Structure 1
Amino acid sequence: MDDTDCTTEESTVEHSQQETHSVASTSDHTHSFQAAKTPTLCSLILTTLREPTDSVDSGWSWVICACSFVSNFVVLGTLASFGVLYTGLLEFYTKSNTTNGGYCDTNKNESGISAVTAWIGNQAVFLTFLLAPFSTSLVARWGVRPVTMTGSAFVSAGAFLTAATNEIWQAILTYGVILGVGASLSVIPVTGILPAYFNKRTSLAMCIARSALWVAGLAMVPINQTILDHYGWRAVCIFIGSYSLLSFVSGLLIRPRVQQNKQKLTVKRIVVQACNTQRHLRFSVWLWLTSLHYFSVYLVLHHLIRHAECSVGASGRDAALLLIYTSVCGAVSGVLVGYIGDYVSNRIMLLQLIMFSSGIVNICFPFFKTYSELVGYSILVGVFGSFRMLVAVIPRDIVGLEEIVNAWGIYSLIAGVVAAAGPPFGGWIYDFTGSYNTAFVVCGCLSVISSLSMFSDIYLKRRQEEKLNKKEKLESGSESAVVSFETSV
């Protein structure tokens, strides 16, 4: 073998090695490019959250249910547990008031401090439901996620600012207005859209979400009472502002429905939508009758603790336990009623029974004179408080899925206005008579009247079905005439 052959062989080997190295480099580059294109878990989650969903009764539907539960836990739990904060605020304002009088001795006081202080929490309740149609309309323009997250930020800011107030009017502005606006933006939309994600388990899903009110009472009442006893009412406000951020986090997980097209938001559109829903006679009658029962809801939750302390002589901790008993029974009975609601043929009849029973319990309130008897009263209030679960589902039965969000907004508006009148009325009655008995009896009578009057729905439903059948016959008759004319031609 000569030198030329050796040189050729060496160059061939060299070239082969270079090709192998080049192929290896290309392969490595391809693998690294593919690895770069492979989405991470974080990016995959973000992509999923950005995309709308068209699934019903799916796994993500229950995620939306969990988000609604958290929002209800934060907002409705805050509004319902105001009774604890109310006692701390009332004691603070009573001591700083120029008139003499103790925490329980505010009756026949010209300042009317019980009713005025009640307006702090009452204003939040009022705005939460008053702005409901506006909140649901914002969803059509911006979507559920940004509206809910903005609302939770307002709730947190309102609670933090309340901790720095010294006057009643300042607390009404921060807690009543700022927190109330945020509560409406946070909880109304995410509750109103929930039926769109379910078909077979709508009632159960709504009841699970709404039961957050009672679960929050079970968790927040003892915590708030402990903070109040050791650190004062300002620390309670700081705590409320902190845990309210949970609603902001849950808002991130809300995936919008595909059919939720964004619309241009105008005042005219809001008014037109409200009027269109209100023209539905059956829904309007049911709405106004049911809202009467709401007069008692926040009156009981806001004033029961003070009644136990001043009329029965219970300690602050024992008085707060009454709301815990109410919360436990409300959560259990709420889920049970939700389960039953998916199988009964007439949910309105079930609602009537619950409201009537609740009214009778409040009418008998003056007979609950000892702490142990108040425990029994609290349990009954929780059991019959399950009516909240049904009223969240019934609008869909009446107006249909297409109008459910708007109907829920209108219902929240009317019911909220009536509910907001309860706590100041109770405070005014106590300032004038030194007792809550009259206020609770009035609430019970309204509930009984509301439940009995709702039998009118049977007639209205039959009338609605007759109109629908007549319309279908006219349409079918017109189609038959057209077919026969075409055949003859």
Structure 2
Amino acid sequence: MANVMAKDRGWAWVMTLTAFIALALETGTMKALGVMLPSLRQQFSTQTWVIGLSIASPFAGALSKRFTSRHTVMIFSILTVIGFIMASLATSVQYLMVALLLTGFSLGAEAVILGEEAIYFDKYYNVSIAISQAGVSFGVMVMPPMTQFLQDIYGWRGTMLLLAGLNLHLIMCGALLKPFQTDVAELEDNELFQSSNKKRRHKNSTVSNLVHYLDLSLFTDVDFVSMVVYNAGSAYCFTGWLIYLVPHAMELGFQPYESSFLASIGGIGNLLACILYPILKIWVPDKTSLYLTTLMTTFALGLDPLVSSYHSYIGLAFSSGIYVLARGIAILSVYKMVKNVVQDDKLTNAILWNNVATSIGAISSGFFSGWIFDVTGSYTLSFLLLSAISLLALCPQFIVDISGIWTARNYSSL
């Protein structure tokens, strides 16, 4: 018999705190590695895109249906810590790349936690995701200046070890997970599925298990697919901003601490997004918010050529704050839209698949944004590309909406 727990109260808020910590560590760690990028590039005498590709970590597999969410997060978190310890001992850029890629399992852990949080809430989900996403603000505001300070004292190797220690807290996040069982019938259906699989020995059983555990049926929903594409594009932009903003500011002539403070301004923008989203949700539908905020992110990133030409610190601060504010509201809107179109029993994998898209976008940005700098000697073109992709990522959702309006009109005319 399943232990059916009420939503929107009790352990649900513990899940929110867990998601807050996980997002703070995941985003803050990526920003910290961005601050360390100039030192790593100098240490290993390599090109920017090599380090950027290593920092843009890969995704963890969707294993939370095969194992418990608790075990999945804890195992991936341990591997993340091992990756940082290995990175602190790196003697070649190849070794460093392998070590930093291993740290990418933290992204998978964060996705599982967000999936569990989505299942725990109905009425207060808007408030819950706003609180958890505030972890991004905490990570972005605190980690860059702290990383620069630690690097000045302990060097990049010592800082890597300290990052390993910080990411040990992800193991605690995993230990706090308590999978939610919404319905006894749902558990019985799952047990029936497992029982039938044990009886079947023909070749199709492997395919059936794969479809079940990964919830591949999600990709038959065009709304879900459009959100996955949007998340890939949004991650491309956000990762490029996370990794290359501080090096970009230093390239324009600003001091390391001045440059790292720009990321803190972005964190303030994300915090405002988390405060404003539950209020805006009362009057503005999520889809409308998504369109408006995407236009804002496109504008903010597109300001870079003007800001760079004047070497304006205020301009960089303004564009960073506006970009992260708008991006924060957009991501919160997407999470709510995913919850609206996906059933509870598929939510964890829905978040995981969106994180797969996020990781693909992050890896692409780590490579291309750095490669463009290596070729042109300037980050301006990289930020222009981020602006363009921010707008292009919305195109599938726009096509789906236009198709829906067209279909509705045709049916109404019959």
TM-score (norm 1): 0.74
- Per the alignment, residue 335 of structure 1 pairs with 275
Note the 1:437-456 alignment, pairs <5 A.
437-451=380-394, 454-456=397-399
Equivalent residue for 2:200?
A: none
Distance 1:405 1:332, change over 3 A: same
Q: Structure 1 residues 361, 232: closer, same or farther in 2, change over 3 A?
A: same
Q: How far apart are the structure 2 equivalents of 1:440 and 1:68?
A: 29
- Deviation at 1:209? 1.3
- Partner of 1:385: helix, strand, or coil? helix
> SS where residue 435 of structure 1 aligns?
coil
Match for residue 120 of structure 2? 197
SS of the equivalent of 2:394 reads: helix
Alignment of 1:293 onto 2:234 = yes
Aligned partner of 1:78 in structure 2 is 29
Residue 211 of structure 1 aligns to a residue in which SS?
helix
Whole-Å separation in 2 of the counterparts to 1:234 and 1:90: 13
Paired position in structure 2 for 1:151: 76
| Distance (whole Å) between structure 1 residues aligned to residue 370 and residue 10 of structure 2 | 46
Aligned equivalent of 1:161: 86
Pick one of 388, 394, 397 that aligns with 2:331: 388
Q: Which residue of the partner structure matches residue 245 of structure 1? A: 168
CA distance in 1, matches of 2:181, 2:394: 38
| Greater Cα radius of gyration, structure 1 or 2 | 1
Counterpart for residue 120 of structure 1: 54
Pairwise CA distance, 1:464: 8.8
Q: 1:117-173 CA distances to partner (integer Å, 9 max, x unpaired)?
A: 212102x1xx12xx3xx33xx222322111111122111111111101111111111
- Which of 290, 294, 304 does residue 355 from structure 1 map onto? 294
Q: Report which structure shows greater RCO (CA 8 Å, sep ≥6).
A: 2
Aligned-residue Cα RMSD (Å) equals 2.6
In the superposition, relative to structure 1, how do residues 258 and 72 fare at CA in structure 2: closer, same or farther (>3 Å)? same
Write the distance in 2 (CA, Å) between the matches of 1:458 and 1:69. Answer: 32
User: For the residues of structure 2 that align with 1:321 and 1:425, how far apart are their CA atoms?
Assistant: 25
Unaligned runs of 5+ in 1: 1-50, 95-110, 470-489
Residues in 2 aligned to 1:256 and 1:468: alpha-carbon distance in whole angstroms? 42
Identity value in percent: 18
Judging changes above 3 Å, is the alpha-carbon distance between structure 1 residues 271 and 80 closer, same or farther for their aligned structure 2 residues?
farther
Sort the Cα spacing of 1:64 and 1:463 in 2 relative to 1 into closer, same or farther, 3 A. farther
Q: Do residues 375 (structure 1) and 300 (structure 2) align?
A: no
TM-superposed deviation, 1:309? 0.8
Question: 1:218: how far off?
Answer: 1.4
Whether contact under 8 Å (1:282, 1:460) holds in the other structure is no
Q: In 2, are the aligned partners of 1:352 and 1:452 still within 8 Å (CA)?
A: no
Q: Does 1:320 align with 2:260?
A: yes
Q: 1:395 to 1:240 in 2, by over 3 A?
A: same
Q: Separation in 1 of the partners of 2:4 and 2:165?
A: 31
Over residues 219-268 of structure 1, what are the superposed CA-to-partner deviations in whole Å (9 max), with x where a residue is unaligned?
21111110112221111111111011112123222222124857769675
Amino acid at match of 1:114: T
CA distance in 1, matches of 2:71, 2:3: 14
How far apart in 2 are the matches of 1:460 and 1:82? 42
Please give the residue correspondences for 1:25-64 in structure 2 after superposition, counting only pairs within 5 Å.
52=3, 54-64=5-15
Distance between the aligned counterparts of 2:72 and 2:279, measured in 1? 30
Q: Distance in 2 between matches of 1:306 and 1:179?
A: 22
- 1:184-220 per-residue CA deviation (whole Å, 9 max, x = no partner) reads 4421111112111111111221222122122112121
- Distance in 2 (CA, whole Å) between partners of 1:271 and 1:151 is 23
* SS of match in other structure, 1:379: helix
| Correspondences of 1:214-293 after superposition (within 5 Å) | 214-259=137-182, 261=187, 268-271=208-211, 273-293=214-234
Q: CA deviation at 1:330?
A: 1.0
- AA aligned opposite 2:285: N
- Gapped regions of structure 2 (runs ≥ 5): 198-205
Structure 2: which amino acid aligns with 1:241?
A: A
1:174 deviates by: 1.1
Out of 96, 103, 107, the residue aligned to residue 171 of structure 1 is 96
Q: Alignment length, in residue pairs?
A: 389
